[in-house]
């Protein structure tokens, strides 16, 4: 896998956006669910997209992102605003190249500024950020292998904790990396899929939840 993340960026704007502020976070205890979606309702707010770069939308009780071009990322987000948050999602890729990207987003300020937590179907992972449209890895110079990641078309459960300046990434209940970065104090959450040289990444996401750490 090459160490770059973004060459061509395509992104999704939710069709229906709701808003949750820091006040809601302060009114609930640690471990409380702040937001969740099982993607059974096509009107739940994640939007849909169908164009040359790829396809994204609700399908078979999940949310599907298929990226049809090389070196491209597609992501979507529901329109939330959290400071410290723990996000989780289950994902799998029934088709497409094993050298792909799929995962979670937190503290998305706008389409040019956010953190990302990704794995690939060949067993690699990485934590990084996009700042002013430029991507950089925070967990190393490139994605790294980890035995906690189930490869191929197997289902993986991802968890990303964004707590103050600490960013922690779990795969199937195993902590794979923790980094420190204080660039973005709050923002939206989301999901992402992307390609390297080979197009055709096809990822299904399910059981998304945001929890107060």
Q: Which residue has the tokens 């945001």?
A: 210
From first to last of the 213 residues of the chain, give the pLDDT tens digit.
222 334 334 444 343 344 545 556 667 788 899 999 999 999 999 989 888 889 999 999 999 999 999 999 999 999 999 999 999 999 999 999 999 999 999 999 998 999 999 999 999 999 999 999 889 999 998 999 999 999 999 999 999 999 999 999 999 999 999 999 999 999 999 999 999 999 999 999 999 999 999
What is the rounded CA–CA span in Å between residue 159 and residue 152? 19
The pLDDT value given to residue 141: 87
The pLDDT value given to residue 26: 66
What is the rounded CA–CA span in Å between residue 213 and residue 211? 6
The pLDDT value given to residue 24: 60
The full set of domain ranges for the chain reads 8-211
Sign of CA dihedral 8, 13, 19, 25: negative
The β-bridge relationship of strands 85-95 and 72-76 is: unpaired
The pLDDT value given to residue 23: 53
> Considering only the top CATH level, what class is 8-211?
mainly beta
Helix (H, G, I), strand (E, B) or coil at 81: coil
């Amino acid at each position: 896998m090459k160490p770059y993340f973004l060459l061509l960026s395509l992104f999704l704007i939710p069709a229906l956006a709701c808003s949750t502020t820091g006040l809601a976070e302060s009114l609930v205890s640690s471990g409380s669910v702040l937001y969740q979606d099982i993607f059974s309702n096509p009107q739940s707010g994640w939007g849909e997209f169908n164009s040359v770069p790829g396809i994204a939308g609700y399908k078979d009780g999940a949310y599907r992102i298929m990226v049809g071009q090389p070196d491209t990322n597609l992501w979507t987000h529901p329109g939330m605003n959290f400071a410290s948050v723990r996000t989780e999602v289950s994902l799998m890729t029934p088709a497409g190249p094993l050298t792909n990207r799929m995962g979670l987003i937190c503290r998305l300020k706008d389409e040019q500024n956010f953190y990302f937590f990704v794995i690939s179907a060949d067993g690699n992972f990485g934590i990084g950020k996009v700042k002013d449209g430029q991507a950089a890895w925070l967990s190393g110079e490139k994605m790294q292998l980890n035995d906690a990641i189930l490869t191929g078309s197997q289902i993986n459960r991802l968890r990303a904790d964004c707590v103050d300046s600490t960013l922690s990434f779990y795969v199937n209940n195993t902590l794979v990396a923790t980094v420190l970065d204080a660039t973005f104090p709050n923002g939206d959450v989301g999901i992402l899929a992307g390609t390297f040289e080979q197009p055709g990444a096809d990822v299904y996401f399910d059981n998304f939840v945001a929890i107060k750490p």
